[in-house]
Amino acid sequence: PIYKGIKVPVLWGTDAVHGHNNVIGATLFPHNIGLGASGNVDLMKSIGEAIALEVLSTGVAWTFAPTVAVPQDDRWGRTYEGFSEDPLLVSKLGKAFVLGLQGEGDMLLDNNHVIATAKHFMGDGGTFEGIDQGNTRISEIGLRELHGYPYFDALDACAQTVMASFNSWNGKKLHGYEELLTDILKKDMQFDGFVVGDWNGHGQVEGCSNAKCAQSFNAGVDMFMVPENWKDLLRNTIRQVKSGEISETRLDEAVRNILRVKSRLGLFNGRVPHEFKENYLGDPKHIALARQAVRESLVLLKNNKQLLPLNPSQHIGIIGDAAKKISSQTGGWTITWQGRENLNSDFINVNSIYEALEEAVISSGGTIEFSNNGKFNKDPDVVIGIFGEEPYAEMLGDLKDVSFNATDPKFLPLLEAMNAQNIPTVSIFLSGRPLVVNRQLNASDAFIAAWLPGSAVEGIADVIFTNDNKINYDFVGKLSYSWPKTKDQAVLNYTDSIYDPLFPFGYGLTYASDLEVERIQTNRSNSKLDLLNVFLGAASIPGKEFVVTQAGPEFVLEDDYVSANSKVKITRFDYQRQDDAKNIVFMDDQSLQAFGISAESPVSLSSMKAPFYEIIMRVNSLANPALYFSVGCGNNCRGSAELPTELMTDWSTINIPLSCLEKDGLDKTKIQVRGLFLSEEAINFDLSSIVIKDGKATGKVISC
């Protein structure tokens, strides 16, 4: 835009949170939870410098990083975005990250640096029960000294932008909290950059929508982050200024704040970020830095009989699907939002953990073999098991408790079988938070918390294997989060008055340690299942969506998908939040079409007393075509119910008692296809969620 003859440059930002992670070929560093375990301030600054160069290589000069949350409840699905439960450690690493991204002194915001964002202001890591975007219930002193503490150092490092948080503080949304955004941040803390909102966060403020929110602007948000409704929001904001609902003084203040940051970046003095001449994506020096970060982020929890380091010239057995899935090591915020849809082929010059270990073993004269059933062509001298959480990001990563929920059902029985045969076993656990893995720990002679290491997993081989029979690299990582011993220890922090972790904050063995970890008490009884997520904007188990057409079944591996015969089209979109719904169109009115979600293995709902399906969806077709919902339990085993499409022309919550599906033939002890929509007519419908719940259904209940 041009104002009074002056060209006002555009400022483009991106979520480069563990590398330039939205760009294929960029270096992927460990997520913050791993960098917190390293505790290395100099390393953190160097990573910030590397990320700045890779972001600039694509013509972008602003990143929405670092996250300086202080997670207090590990059920929160964004725990891994926080460096630590300790505000002091978060503060030190957050400041170093800002200095690396933006530079300092004469290099502040020069041509090799970008604008940083301290986020999410504030209290995002303290929500009740770890619910993402929930309510942080804490006193003002607690808010300042715990969740606000890292912002003092981030602003001291000259962070130019601060992102408002989705959460509430004591019931009031941060996007509309003037006392925090203006009185405290801008006045008391003297922040003179600009406040940016989060993705449609203003729309969650009471009395607001995504297209209209004077309250958020007046509270102190200088720049809205609005994806789809920006034209309406612009028109409405202009009207609100003209009507006096937003004062011209407040508008001028926001404009000045934004222009001030653009000026500091040099955009009014000839700097043009999209003309950056170099290409640092995947630079070898950055990959080496990422490899160092992986080495320093690993935490050795157990090393009985000092099994590690291993001699790589042996015959090494590998088990665990995660060994060969790169998405398991990169986690969320990687290429895609949730990170779970990614295939190995999406990553350029990146090894899986298996491939990284294979290179190290073969180059040392050893042999290596992968098995998914515990059978090896040659008896292994040692077995390395690699397992962990599936990728997730905000909204889809929250847990009911801190039990590890395995999506590779074969892994634990295999690990226990290897251990029972007295084969030395090493486990490498990939996760975004500490979780209860007591059985896996008991079945392992050595156990490593590897977090979400990113692309340079050769760093794992550097540490666990010897070099010429000598230690190559020792373990230096220490727990930046307390490790639970029971599933109900979701809130477990070293400042607790009653503190009883399995492994305490700061714990981490080295090769000099001779500590023997004793067998840990486990509870093999199955916890009662009272909720099962099937679909939350996408299948809860990645890669398990499928369509059926006249041409046969096909797995849906992309957000936007068209079937082979072009008769089924699927498009992901934003309903209430980012990517939280899919539009499904059946175009054939002559034959059966279906969209469904399967599972890795059958699940039993026998522990539920009154299970029912809760489906949130909308039918867009003007006519009322017949649409059925079905649940499958094997060959010739399923139950179906017709949906009342005439009552679903707006977003509706439909409840289907499982008893109705049982009457139609479903066996609830072996559910394999967890949800299936079928029609022989053309139909267009939107689907937001499918959840299996236990209890009394409310709203529209399908009768049988």
Q: Are 580 and 535 in contact (CB under 8 A)?
A: no
* Six token digits for residue 45: 């600054």
Cis peptide before 625, with omega less than 30 degrees from 0? no
* Six token digits for residue 209: 């929508």
Catalytic residue among 54, 394, 408, 686: 394
In this predicted structure, the answer to whether residue 524 has a pLDDT above a threshold of 60 is no
Mention every residue, 6+ apart, whose C-beta is less than 8 A from residue 704: 641, 657, 659, 660, 663, 664
Which region among 55-69, 108-122, 307-321, 485-499 has the lowest average model confidence (pLDDT)?
485-499
530 a catalytic residue: no
Other Cβ atoms less than 10 A from the Cβ of 132: the count is: 19
Question: What sign for the dihedral angle of Cα 21, 25, 27, 28?
Answer: positive
What is the rounded distance in angstroms from the CA atom of residue 376 to the CA atom of residue 318? 10
Averaged pLDDT of the chain: 95
What is the rounded distance in angstroms from the CA atom of residue 643 to the CA atom of residue 626? 7
Q: What CATH number was assigned to the domain covering residues 531-701?
A: 2.60.120.430
153 a catalytic residue: no
Query: How confident is the model at residue 613, as a pLDDT?
Result: 96
What DSSP letter does each residue of 62-80 carry, written as one string? EE---B------TTSTTGG
Helices then strands, counting H and E runs in the chain, come out as 16, 32
Query: How confident is the model at residue 529, as a pLDDT?
Result: 64
Catalytic residue among 81, 132, 198, 614: 198
**Cα torsion through 388, 393, 396, 402, rounded to 10:** 40
3-state secondary structure of 568: strand
Which region among 36-45, 380-389, 600-609, 680-689 has the lowest average model confidence (pLDDT)?
600-609
What's the mean pLDDT in 503-524?
A: 93
Mention every residue, 6+ apart, whose C-beta is less than 8 A from residue 340: 327, 332, 390, 391, 392, 538, 542, 543
Indicate the length of the chain as a whole number.
704
Half-sphere exposure of 152 (CA within 13 A, CB side): 11
Q: Are 398 and 75 in contact (CB under 8 A)?
A: yes
What's the mean pLDDT in 666-692?
A: 94
In this predicted structure, the answer to whether residue 541 has a pLDDT above a threshold of 80 is no
pLDDT band at 197 (very low <50, low <70, confident <90, very high): very high
Radius of gyration for the chain, computed over Cα atoms and rounded to the nearest angstrom = 26
Q: Are 505 and 479 in contact (CB under 8 A)?
A: yes
Integer angstrom CA distances of residue 645 from 114, 295, 476, 574, 687:
51, 55, 59, 22, 13
**Pairing state between β 315-319 and 382-388:** parallel
Each residue's pLDDT tens digit, 278-295 = 999 999 999 999 999 999
What's the mean pLDDT in 559-577?
A: 91
Q: What are phi and psi of 358, to 5 degrees?
A: -60, -45
Structural domain spans, the chain: 2-275, 298-395+408-525, 531-701
Query: How confident is the model at residue 525, as a pLDDT?
Result: 44
What is the rounded distance in angstroms from the CA atom of residue 236 to the CA atom of residue 489? 47
Write the single-letter amino acid at 145: E
What's the mean pLDDT in 239-249?
A: 98
Q: Are 263 and 108 in contact (CB under 8 A)?
A: no
H runs (alpha helix) in 140-189: 140-142, 149-156, 178
What is the rounded distance in angstroms from the CA atom of residue 5 to the CA atom of residue 252? 19
Q: Which residues of 427-462 are buried (b: 16+ CB within 10 A; e: fewer)?
A: bbbbbbbbbbbbbbbbbbbbbbbbbbbbbbbbbbbb
What's the mean pLDDT in 654-671?
A: 93
Q: Are 122 and 87 in contact (CB under 8 A)?
A: no
pLDDT band at 14 (very low <50, low <70, confident <90, very high): very high
What's the mean pLDDT in 665-693?
A: 94
Beta strands in 137-182, from DSSP E residues, in sequence order: 161-164, 168-169, 172-173
Query: How confident is the model at residue 526, as a pLDDT?
Result: 45
Its CATH architecture, for the domain 2-275, is Alpha-Beta Barrel (3.20)
Query: How confident is the model at residue 662, as a pLDDT?
Result: 93
Question: What sign for the dihedral angle of Cα 425, 410, 403, 388?
Answer: positive
- C-alpha of 602 from chain center: 26
Of 430, 286, 417, whose CA–CA distance to 354 is shortest?
430
As assigned by CATH, the class of the 298-395+408-525 domain is alpha beta
